[in-house]
Structure 1
Amino acid sequence: MSSLIESTPVLVTGSLAEAGTSLDDLGGKGANLGRLAAAGFPVPDGFVITTAAYHSQVAGLDLTAEPADLRARIEAVPIEPALADRIRQAYDRLGGGPVAVRSSATAEDLPGAAFAGQQDTYLDVDRDDLLGAVARCWASLWTDRAVAYRRRLGITPDEVAIAVVVQAMVPAELAGVMFTADPVTGDRDRFMIDAVSGLGEALVSGDVTPDHYLVDPTGGRLEFRSGGDGEPLLDAGRLARLAELGAAVRDLFGGPQDLEWAIADGKIRLLQARPMTALPEPVRATRAQRFAVSVATEYFTERPYPLDSTTWLPYGPAGMMLNLIKAQGLDVELADLLPETDGVVVQFRPPTPRPTPRLLIALPQLLMRMNRFDPRRWRQDPRVSQFERRLADLAGDPAALSWRDLLRRPRDLFRVAELGESLRADFLPGIGLALLRLRFRLALIRETKLLGALMAGAETVTSIMNSRLADLARSVRQRPEAARLFADLSTADLLVRLRTDPALADLAADFERLLSDYGHRETSSPVLVSPPTWIDAPEVPLGMLQALVANRSTAAPASRSAEAEQIVYAKRSLADPRRREAMRRAIEAAQAGMAFREDSHDLLTRPAPVLRRCLLEIGRRLHEAGVLPEPFDVFHLRLEELERLDEPSRLAEAERDRLARLVRQRAISRDRLASVPMINRGATFAAGADAGDALVTGMPAGAGVATGPARVITTPAEFATMRPGEVLVCPYTNPSWTPLFQSAVAVVADTGGVGSHAAIVAREYGLPAVMGTGDGTRRLRTGQRIRVDGSTGTVTAAEDGV
């Protein structure tokens, strides 16, 4: 640093342009502003009270004390006279008048960090309150939210410090924020600018609705949404100047930036710059890739952990699908689909299959399997009984295993899963043959439009599960006291009551049998092992049951499949018994194929909870040995990393420290990506240019029109909130969600397509369905009355009284 008020140690800097860029001395905000000022950007003049001043002020305080006590002590301790004089002198050199006093912690405004808003800022501070505002900024390093955030990421108290930036206040006529990339789509060629009248703090805090602009890097306006009376606050000249400054700052820092700006006396000033920490990668998917993404987004509902990526992902349903694709002569690698940075999956990248020589022999092998393996007889295959027997042998308590046996157990389970994979690989081609035969016969009677309805009539494990849930809901409704408890208690309290109240013993026994039979059902994704299944999260099916109890009309809907069969068999051309029998066999074979697809998937997911218990047992032992903060943190490690470990109690101190650092680094990297979606839905499932008056648009997936209040459900924990007559609006669905369809009047999903599980079940229930909206859960709100047209794929606002 040069032109310093103090020599060594530096407590207060000179002007921002002379302050330097030392993160350790200036904190993230101060270092960034110093860099901008030194490069000649229009930054309000100011100075920085360095971290050395903070360390001097808190010397002797117990930084592990309760946050509230620590804040009070920091604010109560008078600033030593020499430092106070230097702060006042620096203030006087600004020329007096109101200033902004901003915290600048060493762990905020950094590439890869997401600490924005964890500490405090004070505006319009005068000379008399300057020292008090500085002390409050120091104390804000220890707010409950900041401490909890750092604790969650494993950052210890002695690893952070705070500087304070003091700048002349800008008497803003206009202010706002600017992102030098589109934060929604990740497009680096689109800047997003929000503007308000007056100071920008109201915008940052969310108190006002801003003018919203999307511009190109030259400032050319692409989109505009007014936050007020419709007159834009920013003209073309100001947009161009802001974009010019934004592009220059982006180039200076070497990446997309989040900027705060203000305009006073016709001049633009930059108040803050920080890297954009939650920016999705831009997606430009082909039509084929969009279809692949519509399928994949039903599975990648959460970001995989490293242990997911090295266990259940390559050896469970996702790995099976990739192996099937490879068997057809197309090369797709998991690492290409799920690129990683710092050991953490960044996004799902649409596949680009590469042909291989195997493509030449794929078709003959496919035809052989079609003729040899009939889906109607898959349960008689000896691999089914082998699968069940071997899984039962491995399902014991993992706590009883030695360390070496425990580490071997995951790969034992992978070999069981391979049996299920081989079944799917052999029998799935027969589904295609059965569908082709049925479609041919329907074409002869000109009724191919009934194919979907006929397919939905297959009895599956899931349909049987749904019937059992409906039966249990009816049993609850027949007992007024039990029904009251299901209506009044939270799901967590109800679970305790159900398992402890003798008066509910019979209902509890029925519920436990349901868990025993379907406890392997996923709560969010069948391709990940980190999320719990029903057996580990019984609140999920119980919440579902609460929603069904609230629906007093849970009688099974009229089967659209049965109605379709009546139409088919009423055809005069099928009066001939032989043709009628041929059609019956074709329908039966096709329905058996659809049942196989569902039921074999159910079989393939059964090892998941067993595997999860083993992995958590590994985590428990590492936690007890002091290696991991919590047992679940084992998911931040890869399987091969675990397999190389000696017994936890024998690990050398250096190895313990290495593992702890690795887990912490990956946890921080994962946290940085928390607001970045795995799939860029807004870009991948972008609506057409002319959406008319539609609130959202998507793929038509279930014909019909329905109107009702929206119920936005984003996680299984919200299942119990579903009420009869509502439109289910969700990010995705899997078989575990389908009992909710018994209460819904329509379904709107961010992901999926016509062939998705949700669409198939919606058609069987006769529900209008719109899939692949991309952002329906963001655009629609619970209670909003909407009209869902499943024939056109549109969702519009419902007229009053409709």
Structure 2
Amino acid sequence: MKLVAPLSAFGRDDLAIAGGKGANLGELVRNGFPVPGGFVVTTHAYDLVAQGRTTADMPDELRRTILDAYAELGGGPVAVRSSATAEDLPGAAFAGQQDTYLNVVGDEALLDAVRRCWGSLWTDRAVAYRARLGIEDVSIAVVVQCMVEADTAGVMFTANPVSGDRTQLVIDASSGLGEAVVSGLVTPDHYVVDADGGVEFTAGRREVVIRGKAGGGVTRETGVTGERLPDAVVGELAALGRRVADLFGRPQDIEWAWADGRVHLLQARPMTALPPPPVGRLNPFQRRLGTVLIEYLPARPYPIDMSTWIPYGPAGLMGKVTGAFGLRRAFEGFLREEDGVVYALLPPKPHPTLGVLAAPFRVAAKARRYDPARWTEDPRFHDYLAAVRRLAAEDLAAMPWPELIRVPRQALALVAPVADLRIDYLPGTGLALLRLLLAVKLLGRGRLFGGLLHGAVTRTTEANQALTRLAELARRTGALDTDPPPAEFQAALEEFLAEYGHRETLSPILVTPPTWADDPETVRGLIKVLAAGPQEQKETDDALERLLDHPLLRHPRRRARMTRWVTAARAGIAFREDSHFYFTMPLPILRRSLVELGRRLHDKGVLDRPEDVFHLRLEELESFQDTAADRERLREVVRARAAKREELAGTRLIDPAAVFPPRQAGDALVTGSPASGGVATGPVKVIRGPGEFGKLDTGDVLVCPYTNPSWTPLFQRAAAVVVDSGGAASHAAIVAREYGIPAVMGTGTATSVLEDGRLVTVNGDTGTVTGAA
């Protein structure tokens, strides 16, 4: 076991003995990068002296070994840096968590610095940082390098840390040692280098300059002036940075120094919390698709989502539907992963095939054969329901592992027939809607189109009506004020969950968020909102009667024909909504099987909690062998992905402005897509998730980042709805039109611009939100 070895003895795979910093520096040395000479006091040395969380006296042999290595470096000033085994990793940079000592001179000073680095593993801040990331097993090495007395030093990012642009390289620089830049003591010179070598420069202020002093340690100077780096040095740094990023296969955060006309690389680690790259200009189809995807992805998918419900659920289903009519890749590859974690959303560009030419004929043929009003009579639908109910009745907890591990695939296989049903019945839906739209536009009544669809009775409206009845029962029995609630209310709630409990609380394309049945508190929150007081009776506009008053529709046959067309369009809307309702029925079966697998892995000590199974892919679960090595492998995979996910917690999957470009609209606070007509004024109430449903009062303007069927009962109390995401065809827009309240979708920024209590006017006809007097 090596106690001390030169940097060149290590590479990227030597994390366990050299720590993150030592392993990365060794990899750079091996690949010919200009790294100052140095050595590593390995984790074996730390293990030799560590007793619990303290360090004992250093054994003589170790002292001699360290000092011999120091002498081989020349015995002059050195930098001594901690190198923990869990640092400089994707998702766990550990920046500033362990100690660094600069300009260390002399034997005893070096040994003392090594001891202090060891001890820094157990400072309160380092322990708290590891606890937040769920990191338990950690050791520490120490890197000792020849000190570079820099003329200028700083940090280089091989991707733009603000915009996420991977084609730009950013350099921060200031006079003296780079510690002033790293610790934020100065406003550095700022260089942005583009892919063609163009440089954008912003001068810094050099408030403080840190330099080494004779005999060891550093000093701080003020009032020092300096010049910008020569263009040649900026170019050399940029070239080195891109080579380092290529070597490690990911954007890098690099510390560097320029001294005596030479560039030195002092450290390299993966960039953390890097936003997704800019998506550039999206075409109209991508923007339209983006409005749907952003609404469906209010949370970052887990690896288990990526390997189960995303490819097989609604997104995968729509991919099959569009593919059946000659449009490939319309719902594929829109999520980008790094280190097994989703980091970016990019609306795909579909690829037309020769099948597009035949699509009109296929659509017409299917529209004639398959009537959306009768889709529930299709034998395939009844077979699907029977299969779902059989699998839902299985006792997952009683299954042995070999049987249980097959359930997720069985649940995913259930949904295949729904894709066939949609392929067959959506053409009739589309043509019925198109026929009605053309008719009302030709009659000059195009603004009535949305209102004409109000009469569609869907499972969503039925669920909302059932919730209203539960709220009335809760008021009558006092169920919300007693624990446990009255038996009558509890029985009614259980009956409701049996019928509607498979509805999603967060997203229809993710399996990881709980369903209504998994999280009944979401339903109780809705009941509480609806039971808080009498429901506001909103006037509904009978668009059909207004349409039939048209002079050209006074003849009975024309009136009857137009009524049939409206009825057909409503049936199409009902098919779209209801097929989605039934399509999500396998969702709780899939989720419960995965959580049960997680529970068993938790019992084996593989996972800290059953839900940590979401950090794994389905194929990784299926290949699991109950051996010590496999248990450790899964533990490490979960830890690394959890850390990466934590790192990305503050970054968005996509810049909303790319999908919802801001538009000028006079004095509007926010703008978006008109989704439900009318004008209403009320105080803003920002609701960010189901846990905040209870905040909404009657007459509030509901402002939210997304919606799904779980939100729609709130529309009974809201004066208007303003949503960051979504479009005129989303669930929120449809239900807003049902309740006759204005809705503005796709604002992109409403939840960040509008504040609780602010009085605003929402215009659902123009898609604007303005301040109210």
Q: Secondary structure at the match of 1:254?
A: helix
- Is 1:596 matched up with 2:570? no
Q: TM (normalized to structure 1)?
A: 0.74
- Is 1:380 matched up with 2:377? yes
Q: Provide closer, same or farther for how the CA distance between residues 584 and 620 of structure 1 changes in structure 2, counting only shifts above 3 A.
A: same
Question: Which one of 584, 589, 592 corresponds to residue 613 of structure 1?
Answer: 592
For 2:431, the equivalent position in structure 1 comes to 433
For 2:164, the equivalent position in structure 1 comes to 186
Task: Structure 2: state its 5+ residue gaps.
Answer: 206-224
For 1:67, the equivalent position in structure 2 comes to none
Map 1:261-410 onto structure 2 (within 5 A): 274-279=269-274, 280-284=276-280, 285-332=282-329, 336-338=333-335, 345=342, 347-396=344-393, 397-410=395-408
Check conservation: 1:698, 1:772, Cα contact below 8 A: yes
CA shift for structure 1 position 597: 0.8
Q: Provide closer, same or farther for how the CA distance between residues 325 and 750 of structure 1 changes in structure 2, counting only shifts above 3 A.
A: same
Check conservation: 1:186, 1:282, Cα contact below 8 A: yes
Map 1:213-612 onto structure 2 (within 5 A): 216=194, 221=200, 244=235, 247-254=238-245, 256-258=251-253, 274-279=269-274, 280-284=276-280, 285-332=282-329, 336-338=333-335, 345=342, 347-396=344-393, 397-476=395-474, 501-502=483-484, 504-549=486-531, 552=533, 554-559=535-540, 562-612=541-591
Q: Secondary structure at the match of 1:452?
A: helix
Q: Provide closer, same or farther for how the CA distance between residues 573 and 345 of structure 1 changes in structure 2, counting only shifts above 3 A.
A: same
Q: Secondary structure at the match of 1:736?
A: coil
For 2:218, the equivalent position in structure 1 comes to none
Q: Provide closer, same or farther for how the CA distance between residues 681 and 787 of structure 1 changes in structure 2, counting only shifts above 3 A.
A: farther
For 2:118, the equivalent position in structure 1 comes to 138
Q: Secondary structure at the match of 1:701?
A: strand
CA shift for structure 1 position 606: 0.8
Kindly tell me the number of residue pairs found equivalent between the two proteins.
Answer: 739
Structure 1: distance between partners of 2:755 and 2:701: 11
Structure 1: distance between partners of 2:755 and 2:257: 33
CA shift for structure 1 position 589: 1.8
For 1:733, the equivalent position in structure 2 comes to 707
Q: Aligned-residue CA RMSD in angstroms? A: 5.3
CA shift for structure 1 position 752: 2.1
- Is 1:758 matched up with 2:732? yes
CA shift for structure 1 position 533: 1.1
Check conservation: 1:373, 1:426, Cα contact below 8 A: yes
Q: Provide closer, same or farther for how the CA distance between residues 678 and 144 of structure 1 changes in structure 2, counting only shifts above 3 A.
A: same
Superimposed CA distance per residue, residues 426-485 of structure 1 (whole angstroms, 9 cap, x where no aligned partner)? 222111122123223313431012112222442222122223334444554567x766x5
Structure 1: distance between partners of 2:687 and 2:178: 33
Map 1:13-162 onto structure 2 (within 5 A): 27-29=19-21, 50-52=40-42, 56=45, 59=48, 61=50, 63=52, 70=53, 73=54, 103-110=82-89, 112-117=90-95, 119-120=97-98, 137-142=117-122, 157=137, 160-162=139-141
Q: Provide closer, same or farther for how the CA distance between residues 26 and 644 of structure 1 changes in structure 2, counting only shifts above 3 A.
A: closer
CA shift for structure 1 position 207: 12
Check conservation: 2:408, 2:593, Cα contact below 8 A: yes
Check conservation: 2:156, 2:253, Cα contact below 8 A: yes
CA shift for structure 1 position 603: 0.7
Structure 2: distance between partners of 1:34 and 1:689: 52
Task: Structure 1: state its 5+ residue gaps.
Answer: 1-7, 64-69, 227-233, 486-497, 646-650
Check conservation: 1:431, 1:593, Cα contact below 8 A: yes
Check conservation: 2:189, 2:202, Cα contact below 8 A: no
Q: Secondary structure at the match of 1:735?
A: coil
Check conservation: 1:185, 1:682, Cα contact below 8 A: no
Structure 1: distance between partners of 2:299 and 2:702: 20
Superimposed CA distance per residue, residues 39-72 of structure 1 (whole angstroms, 9 cap, x where no aligned partner)? 99999x9x989543x7545646455xxxxxx3xx
Superimposed CA distance per residue, residues 351-398 of structure 1 (whole angstroms, 9 cap, x where no aligned partner)? 333334444543322212212222222233333333322322221222
CA shift for structure 1 position 525: 2.0
Structure 2: distance between partners of 1:702 and 1:211: 51
Check conservation: 1:26, 1:48, Cα contact below 8 A: no
Q: Which range is displaced more, 701-710 or 563-572?
A: 701-710
Superimposed CA distance per residue, residues 166-213 of structure 1 (whole angstroms, 9 cap, x where no aligned partner)? 9999999x9997644334553223456899999999998999999999
Q: Which range is displaced more, 114-123 or 753-762?
A: 114-123
Q: Provide closer, same or farther for how the CA distance between residues 310 and 575 of structure 1 changes in structure 2, counting only shifts above 3 A.
A: same
Check conservation: 2:606, 2:634, Cα contact below 8 A: no
Structure 1: distance between partners of 2:34 and 2:720: 54
CA shift for structure 1 position 793: 4.6
Question: Which one of 631, 636, 647 corresponds to residue 664 of structure 1?
Answer: 636
Structure 1: distance between partners of 2:266 and 2:359: 61
Check conservation: 2:707, 2:731, Cα contact below 8 A: yes
Check conservation: 1:375, 1:596, Cα contact below 8 A: yes
Structure 2: distance between partners of 1:449 and 1:211: 57
CA shift for structure 1 position 680: 1.9
